[in-house]
């Protein structure tokens, strides 16, 4: 609405005197139907739903100790493969461990891996992408290396990297981060290259702004939105890769419950005791869905072209 009344020449300036521009009452505060956080969530329901589900998962992971759980590693051979019941909500596995407790504690691994990989690969990818976008001679070399890494499926690359080390959550994070870095680097490089051609960057160069300041003031703030969106997708993808690594025994060590290794242990009994695989799978799916919904919502909200429909 604010732009509908744009510059209608209230009184056209006399042809060639000192052109006192017409008064401009058309600078109006943007009209918003609803303001504040609630209004924002109303306009982007995917963010609200995805965010709520993700917050729930974070809550579960943080307060796992207080959510009627028992020691997830406690063995009880006498009570193995029990069906879900009032005592064992999700049943017990073939070593008699409480599947509910294991799934709840497993959320910690998934979320830590997801968030850590998203943060680390975004940070490293941002740095590589900036260098690649600004240093002409480095660009060719860096991008060919990234192409090489991208030609290997991230899961295979992560498996190969895990094979070099011993299974631990830290090593899982490092392996998946390395596998995800090329995607962020490519994205940032693309954004940097297109931003460099923006007239406002050229105007800043003409205005004598030094390159580091241009990067800091004109390039970085405009890369944050696409990187944030990409980070959510990487977070989701990292959780899945972690589960796959753990499932095939190349990830989180069996001593730490993670959704991947719970499913791996239940796999042999899948035909007769499907609940051992079912519950961690549901949690994994819901968490990944939540992160992806959040990412979609953020993409819509942060894309400046979409932002115009205030």
Q: Which residues bind other proteins (CB under 8 A)?
A: 2-3, 6-7, 9, 12-13, 16, 18-22, 24, 26-27, 29-30, 140, 144, 198-200, 202-210, 217-218, 221-222, 304, 308
- Matching residue, tokens 């406002």: 200
* Smaller CB separation from other proteins, 158 or 215: 215
CA distance 287 to 263: 16
Least separation in angstroms between residue 36's CB and other proteins is: 18
* Smaller CB separation from other proteins, 29 or 36: 29
Closest by CA to 157, choosing from 135, 178, 143, is 178
* Smaller CB separation from other proteins, 75 or 203: 203
* Smaller CB separation from other proteins, 9 or 77: 9
Structure tokens at 16: 């060639």
Specify the 3-state DSSP secondary structure of 85.
coil
Least separation in angstroms between residue 32's CB and other proteins is: 13
Residues 6 or more apart whose CB falls under 8 angstroms from that of 60 comprise: 67, 104, 107
Least separation in angstroms between residue 229's CB and other proteins is: 16
Least separation in angstroms between residue 147's CB and other proteins is: 11
Structure tokens at 276: 């051992």
Least separation in angstroms between residue 106's CB and other proteins is: 40
CA distance 97 to 95: 6
* Smaller CB separation from other proteins, 15 or 77: 15
Helices (runs of H) and strands (runs of E) counted in the chain: 12, 0
């Amino acid at each position: 609405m604010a732009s509908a009344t744009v510059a209608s020449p209230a009184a056209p300036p006399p042809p060639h005197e000192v052109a006192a521009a017409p008064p401009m009452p058309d600078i109006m505060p943007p009209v918003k139907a609803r303001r504040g956080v609630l209004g924002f969530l109303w306009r982007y329901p995917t963010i609200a739903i995805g965010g709520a589900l993700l917050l729930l998962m974070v809550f579960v992971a943080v307060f796992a100790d207080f959510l009627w759980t028992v020691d997830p590693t406690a063995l009880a051979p006498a009570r193995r493969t029990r069906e879900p019941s009032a005592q064992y909500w999700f049943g017990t596995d073939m070593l008699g461990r409480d599947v509910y407790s294991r799934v709840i504690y497993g959320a910690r691994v998934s979320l830590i891996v997801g968030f850590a990989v998203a943060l680390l690969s975004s940070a490293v990818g941002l740095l590589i992408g900036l260098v690649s976008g600004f240093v002409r001679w480095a660009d060719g070399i860096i991008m060919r290396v990234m192409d090489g890494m991208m030609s290997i499926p991230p899961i295979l690359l992560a498996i190969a990297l895990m094979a070099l080390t011993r299974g631990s959550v830290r090593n899982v994070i490092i392996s998946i981060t390395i596998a995800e870095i090329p995607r962020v680097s490519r994205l940032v490089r693309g954004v940097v290259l297109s931003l460099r051609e923006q007239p406002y960057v050229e105007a800043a160069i003409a205005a004598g702004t030094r390159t580091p300041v241009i990067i800091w003031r004109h390039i970085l703030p405009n890369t944050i939105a696409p990187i944030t969106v990409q980070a959510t997708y990487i977070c989701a993808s990292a959780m899945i890769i972690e589960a796959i690594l753990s499932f095939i025994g190349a990830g989180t060590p069996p001593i730490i419950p993670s959704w991947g290794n719970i499913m791996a242990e239940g796999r042999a009994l899948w035909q007769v005791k499907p609940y051992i695989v079912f519950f961690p799978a549901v949690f994994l799916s819901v968490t990944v869905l939540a992160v992806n919904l959040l990412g979609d919502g953020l993409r819509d909200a942060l894309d400046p072209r979409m932002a115009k429909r205030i």
